[in-house]
Amino acid sequence: MSPTEGIRPLRQLPTRRLEALVDGVFAIAITLLVLEIRVPIVDSARGGDLAHALLDQWPSYVAYTITFFVVGAYWINHHRMFYLLRGVDHTFLILNIFCLMAIAIIPFPNAVVAEYLRDPAMRGVAAAVYGLAMFTLAVMFIVTFWYASLKGLFREGVDTAKVRKVLRSYAVGPVIYLLGIVLSGWAPLAVLIVYFLMPLGYLFEGPVVEIDEGYLGAGS
Amino acid sequence: MSPTEGIRPLRQLPTRRLEALVDGVFAIAITLLVLEIRVPIVDSARGGDLAHALLDQWPSYVAYTITFFVVGAYWINHHRMFYLLRGVDHTFLILNIFCLMAIAIIPFPNAVVAEYLRDPAMRGVAAAVYGLAMFTLAVMFIVTFWYASLKGLFREGVDTAKVRKVLRSYAVGPVIYLLGIVLSGWAPLAVLIVYFLMPLGYLFEGPVVEIDEGYLGAGS
Amino acid sequence: MSPTEGIRPLRQLPTRRLEALVDGVFAIAITLLVLEIRVPIVDSARGGDLAHALLDQWPSYVAYTITFFVVGAYWINHHRMFYLLRGVDHTFLILNIFCLMAIAIIPFPNAVVAEYLRDPAMRGVAAAVYGLAMFTLAVMFIVTFWYASLKGLFREGVDTAKVRKVLRSYAVGPVIYLLGIVLSGWAPLAVLIVYFLMPLGYLFEGPVVEIDEGYLGAGS
Amino acid sequence: MSPTEGIRPLRQLPTRRLEALVDGVFAIAITLLVLEIRVPIVDSARGGDLAHALLDQWPSYVAYTITFFVVGAYWINHHRMFYLLRGVDHTFLILNIFCLMAIAIIPFPNAVVAEYLRDPAMRGVAAAVYGLAMFTLAVMFIVTFWYASLKGLFREGVDTAKVRKVLRSYAVGPVIYLLGIVLSGWAPLAVLIVYFLMPLGYLFEGPVVEIDEGYLGAGS
């Protein structure tokens, strides 16, 4: 059986809608992060201090910034990979739903970390939960597009070996998240700091799969 | 009167926007599911245990996973059916709004099940509510596209008899949900287990209506 | 000055994005309606009855269904009118933002009605709030597209007189809402029943502005 | 190195998806503003007055109206600037994520102002928080598109000097917000009034970068 049999080409099942669902879930998940940042209830009659109360919830701002940035970077990567696809089959659609499930749950571990970041007794569990969510997201992402490479779902001009190399480079993430989960019982603060610094890597572009311009000129 | 009279062809009223509304509602409904998963309030000074509190709300995670997957699978089916349409009329738009209403309410029965899954006295009612919501969604979906088949809203290359066969195969779902509602007073746990296993069927592609490539090549 | 000067044609400032914003706000506003339907807190140990508690919040289900349907119907009307546009200018964009503001606030009056529907002492105020929100939405909608007709923003094939006739027919809505607000202090229940029955009118298509097919064949 | 090296032209990485993410975040952020407006809990048996309670939360309505309008106006500006782009590079994508971060957090400062607008002791801090959020958003917007002008990301027909002139004109906003932050400790009410009147400027179109029609006719 040829690797392209049973694939619904992108032109047939318009990917526009799959992209719309994916972009929608990403956009909503990152925007819902703001719901975790609550307006502090301060009573001025009792000498409450709004400025202090606002500064006191700094973990919420830190978590918001880091998590928003990570999910935003995932969106960039999903965008890039997805663009290389020529078509999708049913299994890809199913795998992609699990990817979205891993994206849409992110506000939850984000809130757990924001809530328990400062509590030394709880910090380890919070770090493990955050690490587990990020690990799952990273693995689902790699599995989904690795499947695409196995089934020949990429466009003609795309070098599948290069795609796999890029996907393999993404595997550094889940390995660190997994290590972090294991170590979160011993050094939770160190784990959280590593987790929070990891997104800095996204500031650099990293490996990119180029497509032959000619093909695109004809096909897009 | 010919069955195609009074239809606004897809090219005229751009379906792009109908798709955008549909995809938006789907994306938001599944992403709002996360709001049901709350950060447990644990006080370490009183010997609270965050890990235990997090594991204790396992019904929320189960409900999230199952419901997200079901709605995601519905999106795939909606996507496929909608793609076969040549045009929509006013009644189709109205029926589609009722479909969206059935999608957008899903976070509510999902939260009811997550909240009362473990309470033997409440479980039956929760199962009935979940079943009713899923039954309504399935029926609205079938009715909407059955209407399209009655009014000849499908593209030229599409075999309407095949479409109806596929829609009839979807009817297995609501029948089981209905049976579950009836039985939820006697064996609520069994009903919920069946409800939760049903989505496994979506892992397989099921019957698909193929379109003549030639027509698509010319028309899309 | 010709009425078309200063207009950014649709092809130049792609309306795709204006549509995306509009569709996004509509989709989110209707999906947020579900957040008003809360899971009742029932304690079975104290003889609580989940079925009764769920049925007891029937005003929430009624409000959800009616309001969802009204906003959905507004989307259909916005879609149809917007499709007739040839281009937009700055004032249209600003008016459209006020339209979106009127759409996005709908979950609030919806929740007010759901909360106070059964309280005879409060019902009048709730009806007035709901009527005011619906009145504002209807007026903003008509003003926005009336402005478009004044500035010649419609496509060449569109009969502006016909558009205004359609817009005038929409004016029945705000007049009834306004009357309802005035009467809500005397007969709140009657007003709410009228408000809730009004959307039935949307089940029928109503007047539609047709566009010359030939122009569309060439221009879309 | 030529300024256009390393740029992924818009046709290659389809901007449709970047726009979808941006529009999604804007749409969600403005629609989430409604969640801040809560249904007042009034007990008629204890002589509660719903009308009074609703009017009493006027700061929420004022904040909703102003903030919605500001974010809507930002969307117009983003739309206009983005449309001038020929392509994006990795750094632009990253800067754009920070823009979205500044948009998505807006419901938080909006809620702070709505909550503490009437409390003379807290008003200053609330004004400073609101000003800081608006300042950050304005600066991120200008930085993102200024970067685009430095890297030659604009289309061929676009006059970069004109773009920068427009961006410079936008700089009035952050300067006023910054002044407001400084003065919020002394005259918080005056600062808030200025902040709330500033959006009136958006009612006028302001400077616009025109593109050569010919180029667009060929290239879009």
- For the cut 80, the answer to whether the pLDDT of residue C7 exceeds it is no
Question: What pLDDT, on the 0 to 100 scale, is given for residue C212?
Answer: 52
- For the cut 60, the answer to whether the pLDDT of residue C10 exceeds it is no
Mean pLDDT, range D150-155, rounded to an integer: 89
In angstroms, the CA A181 to CA D41 distance is: 44
Instruction: Indicate whether B1 belongs to any domain.
Output: no
Neighbours of chain A (3+ CB pairs under 8 A): B, D
Phi, psi at A48, each rounded to 5°: -65, 155
- For the cut 90, the answer to whether the pLDDT of residue A36 exceeds it is yes
pLDDT band at A20 (very low <50, low <70, confident <90, very high): confident
CA dihedral C179, C182, C188, C192 (to 10 degrees): 30
In angstroms, the CA C142 to CA C102 distance is: 12
- For the cut 90, the answer to whether the pLDDT of residue A219 exceeds it is no
In angstroms, the CA A75 to CA C95 distance is: 32
pLDDT band at B12 (very low <50, low <70, confident <90, very high): very low
Counting one residue from chain B and one from chain C, the pairs whose CB atoms sit within 8 A come to 97
Phi, psi at B150, each rounded to 5°: -70, -35
Q: Is C21 on the interface with B (CB under 8 A)?
A: no
Nearest-CA neighbor of D161 among D218, D84, D101, D92?
A: D84
Over residues A149-181, the pLDDT tens digits come to: 999 888 888 888 999 999 998 999 999 999 999
DSSP B95-118: HHHHHHHHHHTTHHHHHHHHHHTT
Taking an 8 Å cut-off on Cβ atoms, the answer to whether A31 and D28 are in contact is yes
Q: Which residue does chain C place closest to B119, by CA atoms?
A: C44
Pairwise pLDDT comparison (B44 vs B181), residue with the higher score: B181
Pairwise pLDDT comparison (A3 vs C189), residue with the higher score: C189
Asked whether the CA dihedral D203, D204, D210, D216 is positive or negative, the reply is positive
Question: What pLDDT, on the 0 to 100 scale, is given for residue B14?
Answer: 59
Taking an 8 Å cut-off on Cβ atoms, the answer to whether B125 and C50 are in contact is yes
Q: Which residue does chain A place closest to B39, by CA atoms?
A: A112
Taking an 8 Å cut-off on Cβ atoms, the answer to whether A202 and D20 are in contact is no
Helical ranges in D5-89 per DSSP H: 15-32, 50-56, 58-83
**ipTM of the modeled complex:** 0.88
What is the DSSP secondary structure assignment for residue D40, as one 8-state letter? Answer: P
The most confident of the ranges B4-18, B197-211, D117-131 is D117-131
Instruction: Indicate whether D3 belongs to any domain.
Output: no
Q: Is C62 on the interface with D (CB under 8 A)?
A: no
**B124 and B185 Cβ atoms separated by less than 8 Å:** yes
User: How many distinct helices (H) and strands (E) make up chain B?
Assistant: 10, 2
Cβ atoms within 10 Å, residue A134: 25
CA dihedral A98, A104, A109, A111 (to 10 degrees): -170
Mean pLDDT, range A60-77, rounded to an integer: 93
**C110 and C59 Cβ atoms separated by less than 8 Å:** no
Helical ranges in A117-208 per DSSP H: 123-150, 160-170, 172-183, 188-197
Percentage of chain C beyond pLDDT 90 is: 61
Taking an 8 Å cut-off on Cβ atoms, the answer to whether D104 and A50 are in contact is no
pLDDT band at A58 (very low <50, low <70, confident <90, very high): very high
pLDDT band at A182 (very low <50, low <70, confident <90, very high): very high
Task: Retrieve residue C210's tokens.
Answer: 């047709």
Contacts of residue C161, Cβ cutoff 8 Å, sequence gap at least 6 = none
Q: Is D218 on the interface with C (CB under 8 A)?
A: no
Give the nearest partner residue to B21 out of C42, C54, C75, using CB atoms.
C75
Q: Is D55 on the interface with C (CB under 8 A)?
A: no
- For the cut 60, the answer to whether the pLDDT of residue D11 exceeds it is no
Instruction: Indicate whether C154 belongs to any domain.
Output: yes
Contacts of residue D75, Cβ cutoff 8 Å, sequence gap at least 6 = C21, D23, D26
Nearest-CA neighbor of B44 among B35, B36, B53, B56?
A: B53
Instruction: Indicate whether B76 belongs to any domain.
Output: yes
What is the DSSP secondary structure assignment for residue B38, as one 8-state letter? Answer: P
Q: Is A100 on the interface with B (CB under 8 A)?
A: yes
Instruction: Indicate whether D168 belongs to any domain.
Output: yes
Pairwise pLDDT comparison (B214 vs D34), residue with the higher score: D34
Q: Is D26 on the interface with C (CB under 8 A)?
A: yes
Cα B168 to chain center, whole Å? 16
pLDDT band at B214 (very low <50, low <70, confident <90, very high): very low
- For the cut 60, the answer to whether the pLDDT of residue B5 exceeds it is no
Nearest-CA neighbor of A195 among A130, A121, A142?
A: A130
Question: What pLDDT, on the 0 to 100 scale, is given for residue D211?
Answer: 63
pLDDT band at C67 (very low <50, low <70, confident <90, very high): very high
- For the cut 90, the answer to whether the pLDDT of residue B87 exceeds it is no
Mean pLDDT of chain D: 86
- For the cut 50, the answer to whether the pLDDT of residue A21 exceeds it is yes
Which residues of chain B does A126 touch, with a Cβ-Cβ cutoff of 8 Å?
Answer: 50
Nearest-CA neighbor of D99 among D29, D22, D10?
A: D22
What distance in Å separates residue A72's CA from the closest CA in chain B?
16
Instruction: Indicate whether B7 belongs to any domain.
Output: no
In angstroms, the CA B119 to CA D204 distance is: 60
The mean-pLDDT minimum among B60-74, C173-187, D1-15 falls in D1-15
Mean pLDDT, range C18-40, rounded to an integer: 92
**D88 and D153 Cβ atoms separated by less than 8 Å:** yes
Cα radius of gyration (chain B): 20
Over residues A110-120, the pLDDT tens digits come to: 999 999 999 99
Nearest-CA neighbor of A211 among C202, C211, D8, B62?
A: D8
Q: Is A34 on the interface with B (CB under 8 A)?
A: no
In angstroms, the CA B44 to CA B61 distance is: 24
Q: Which residue does chain B place closest to A96, by CA atoms?
A: B72
pLDDT band at A207 (very low <50, low <70, confident <90, very high): confident
Mean pLDDT, range C51-68, rounded to an integer: 94
**A138 and A173 Cβ atoms separated by less than 8 Å:** yes
Question: What pLDDT, on the 0 to 100 scale, is given for residue C6?
Answer: 52
Its domain, for residue D207, covers 10-219
- For the cut 70, the answer to whether the pLDDT of residue D213 exceeds it is no
Neighbours of chain D (3+ CB pairs under 8 A): A, C
In angstroms, the CA C48 to CA C199 distance is: 36
**C163 and C145 Cβ atoms separated by less than 8 Å:** yes
How many structural domains are present in chain C? 1
Instruction: Indicate whether A210 belongs to any domain.
Output: no
Question: What pLDDT, on the 0 to 100 scale, is given for residue C135?
Answer: 96
Instruction: Indicate whether C219 belongs to any domain.
Output: no
The mean-pLDDT minimum among A72-76, B177-181, C1-5, C152-156 falls in C1-5
Mean pLDDT, range B105-126, rounded to an integer: 94
Give the nearest partner residue to A31 out of D13, D20, D104, using CB atoms.
D104
The secondary element (H helix, E strand) that includes residue C88 is strand C87-88
- For the cut 90, the answer to whether the pLDDT of residue D219 exceeds it is no
Question: What pLDDT, on the 0 to 100 scale, is given for residue A8?
Answer: 53
Residues 112-171 of chain C whose Cβ lies under 8 A from any Cβ of chain D: 112, 115-116, 119, 121-122, 125-126, 129
Give the nearest partner residue to A34 out of D107, D126, D129, using CB atoms.
D107
Q: Which residues pair with C88 in a beta bridge?
A: C8
In angstroms, the CA C219 to CA D64 distance is: 39
Question: What pLDDT, on the 0 to 100 scale, is given for residue B219?
Answer: 32
Question: What pLDDT, on the 0 to 100 scale, is given for residue D14?
Answer: 60
Give Cα separations from C17 to A192, B80, C6, C23 (angstroms): 39, 25, 20, 10
- For the cut 50, the answer to whether the pLDDT of residue B92 exceeds it is yes
Task: Retrieve residue B38's tokens.
Answer: 């709350």
Amino acid present at C171:
A
Question: What pLDDT, on the 0 to 100 scale, is given for residue C210?
Answer: 66
Mean pLDDT, range B56-69, rounded to an integer: 95
pLDDT band at B13 (very low <50, low <70, confident <90, very high): low
What distance in Å separates residue C1's CA from the closest CA in chain B?
32
